[in-house]
C-alpha cells in the first residue's frame, strides 16, 4: 500500500535553479521496514536530482521485483515509473531507452533481482552499454520473502535464522567490470556524503553506470554474523577515493593535496573530483580496478567509491547508429516508405 503525501508546501522552502523544491522530487511514503537501507538510497536519489536540477518528468524510473524494486514509488512522483517483472528490468529499460534516448533512465534493482533471476539481463545490458544509472541495493538476502540468502551473500555470512551461507558470493562490481561496464562504483546506504555525488556522476555518465550499494536489511540480515550489516560494513569499509561532484560551470571548491587529486570531466560538462586515498589508484584502468576489487573481496573489505570509469565508449544508440531524434517522436511520414516503393518491392517478387 502506498500513501500519498500531502501536497502542502511551505512557501519558504529552498528551491533549485529550475524552481523546484526538494519535495518536488519526493514520492509516496515508504512502506519498507523502519531503518531500511533502501530508504536512505531513495533519499540520496531525491537529493541528487534536486541538486542537479533535473526536471522530474525527464526521468523514467524502472525496477524489477523485490524490496528494492518497490522504492521507485518512494521518490520522483512526477516521473513515470515501471515496476516490471522479477529480474527483467534491464530489458524493459533497454526498450524504453531505444524508444526515447532523450530521457534519463534510472534502474533500481536488488541482489536477488540482478544477481540471481536477472543475472542474464544484467550482464547483457552492461555489454550493450545501455545509457542508464543502475542502482543495485545490495543486502545479501531476500527481504520480501523473509530473509533467504541471496547470491551476493558472503560465504560464512550468517543470517537472522542462524544459517551460514556456503555458496560462493557474486561480486556485482567485479562482474560488471568483467562485462565491460563503463562506470562502476560501490557505496553504502549509510554514507550519503559519498552516495549522493556518486549518483550525480552516474546520471551524468553516458552509458551503463552501476552503483552497487550495500544497503542493510534491518529485519533479516543486520545481525552480528552478517557481512551485509550496518556494523560489519562500517568496520570494513575501504574507499578508493573521497569524491566531490562539481556541476557544470561551477567553481571547484574542495581542496585536495596536489598530486593526490584527479578531476574527471563528465560528458555533460560537470566534473568529479577524486581525492585518492591510495597513491596507486587510477579510475581509468579496468585491469587495476578488477585486481583491486578482487583483493578487497579476499580481504573481506567493502571497497567503496568510484572504481572505474570510461567515458569514451559508445552507448547502445551510438552502436546502433540511430537518429538523434527519439524514435518515439518520428512521425508516420518519416516511417512509411510509400505505396510507390511497395509497388517496386512487389516487382522484385515476380
Q: How many CA atoms lie within 13 A of 262 on its CB side?
A: 18
By CB under 8 A, the residues from 291 to 320 that bind other proteins are: 316-317, 320
Nearer to other proteins (CB atom), residue 252 or residue 323:
323
Read off the C-alpha cell for 306. Answer: 568510484
Q: Does 62 bind other proteins (CB under 8 A)?
A: yes
Q: How far apart are CA 197 and CA 105, in angstroms?
A: 17
Q: Which is nearer to other proteins, 6 or 162 (CB)?
A: 6
Among 29, 40, 98, 265, which residue interacts with other proteins (rule: CB under 8 A)? 98
Query: What is the C-alpha to C-alpha distance for residues 298 and 304, in angstroms, rounded to an integer?
Result: 15
Which of 15, 22, 80, 260 lies at the binding interface for other proteins (CB under 8 A)?
Answer: 80
Helix residue ranges, H only, 30-103: 37-51, 67-70, 89-99
Considering only 1, 34, 255, 298, the residue that binds other proteins (CB under 8 A) is 1
Beta bridge partners of 272: 245, 264
Residues numbered 127 to 186 that lie near other proteins (CB under 8 A) are 128
CA distances from 49 to 294, 299, 341 (A): 32, 35, 48
Among 164, 265, 277, 323, binds other proteins (CB under 8 A): 323
Q: Binding to other proteins by residue 30, rule CB under 8 A?
A: no
Residue 25 CB, shortest distance to other proteins, in Å, is 12
120 binds other proteins (CB under 8 A): yes
- State the helix-helix crossing angle for 119-127 and 89-99, rounded to 10 degrees: 30
Please name which of 25, 7, 1 lies closest in space to residue 78, comparing C-alpha atoms. Answer: 25
End-to-end, the C-alpha distance of the chain in Å comes to 61
The binder of other proteins chosen from 16, 82, 256, 313 (CB under 8 A): 82
DSSP one-letter code for 304:
E
> How near is the Cβ of 232 to other proteins at its closest, in Å?
33
Chain positions contacting other proteins, by CB under 8 A: 1-2, 4, 55-58, 60, 62, 72-73, 77-85, 88, 90-100, 102-103, 120-121, 124, 128, 316-317, 320-324, 327-328, 330, 332, 334-339, 341-343, 345-346, 349-350
Amino acid at each position: 500500500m502506498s500513501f500519498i503525501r500531502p501536497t502542502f508546501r511551505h512557501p519558504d522552502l529552498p528551491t533549485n535553479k529550475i524552481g523546484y523544491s526538494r519535495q518536488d522530487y519526493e514520492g509516496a511514503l515508504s512502506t519498507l521496514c523502519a531503518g531500511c537501507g533502501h530508504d536512505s538510497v531513495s533519499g540520496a536519489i531525491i537529493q541528487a536530482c534536486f541538486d542537479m536540477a533535473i526536471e522530474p518528468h525527464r526521468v523514467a524510473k524502472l525496477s524489477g521485483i523485490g524490496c528494492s524494486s518497490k522504492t521507485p514509488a518512494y521518490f520522483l512522483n512526477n516521473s513515470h515509473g515501471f515496476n516490471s517483472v522479477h529480474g527483467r528490468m534491464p530489458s524493459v529499460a533497454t526498450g524504453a531507452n531505444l524508444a526515447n534516448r532523450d530521457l534519463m533512465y534510472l534502474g533500481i534493482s536488488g541482489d536477488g533481482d540482478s544477481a540471481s533471476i536477472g543475472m542474464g539481463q544484467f550482464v547483457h545490458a552492461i555489454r550493450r552499454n545501455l545509457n542508464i544509472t543502475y542502482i543495485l541495493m545490495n543486502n545479501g538476502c531476500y527481504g520480501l520473502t523473509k530473509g533467504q540468502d541471496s547470491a551476493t551473500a558472503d560465504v560464512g555470512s550468517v543470517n537472522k535464522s542462524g544459517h551460514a551461507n556456503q555458496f560462493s558470493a557474486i561480486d556485482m562490481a567485479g562482474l560488471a567490470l568483467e562485462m565491460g561496464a563503463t562506470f562502476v562504483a560501490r557505496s553504502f546506504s549509510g554514507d550519503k556524503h559519498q552516495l549522493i555525488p556518486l549518483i550525480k556522476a552516474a546520471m551524468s555518465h553516458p552509458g551503463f553506470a552501476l552503483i552497487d550499494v550495500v544497503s542493510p536489511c534491518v529485519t533479516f540480515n543486520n545481525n552480528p554474523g552478517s557481512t551485509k550489516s550496518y556494523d560489519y560494513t562500517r568496520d570494513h569499509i575501504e574507499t578508493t577515493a573521497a569524491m566531490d561532484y562539481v556541476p557544470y560551470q561551477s567553481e571547484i571548491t574542495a581542496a585536495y593535496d596536489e598530486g593526490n587529486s584527479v578531476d574527471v570531466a563528465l560528458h555533460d560538462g560537470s566534473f568529479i573530483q577524486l581525492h585518492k586515498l591510495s597513491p596507486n589508484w587510477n579510475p581509468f584502468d579496468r585491469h587495476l580496478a578488477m585486481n583491486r576489487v578482487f583483493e578487497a573481496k579476499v580481504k573481506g573489505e567493502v571497497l567503496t567509491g568510484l572504481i572505474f570509469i570510461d567515458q569514451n565508449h559508445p552507448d547502445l544508440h551510438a552502436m546502433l547508429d540511430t537518429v538523434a531524434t527519439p524514435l518515439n517522436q518520428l512521425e508516420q511520414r518519416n516511417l512509411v516508405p510509400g505505396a510507390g516503393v511497395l509497388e517496386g518491392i512487389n516487382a522484385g517478387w515476380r
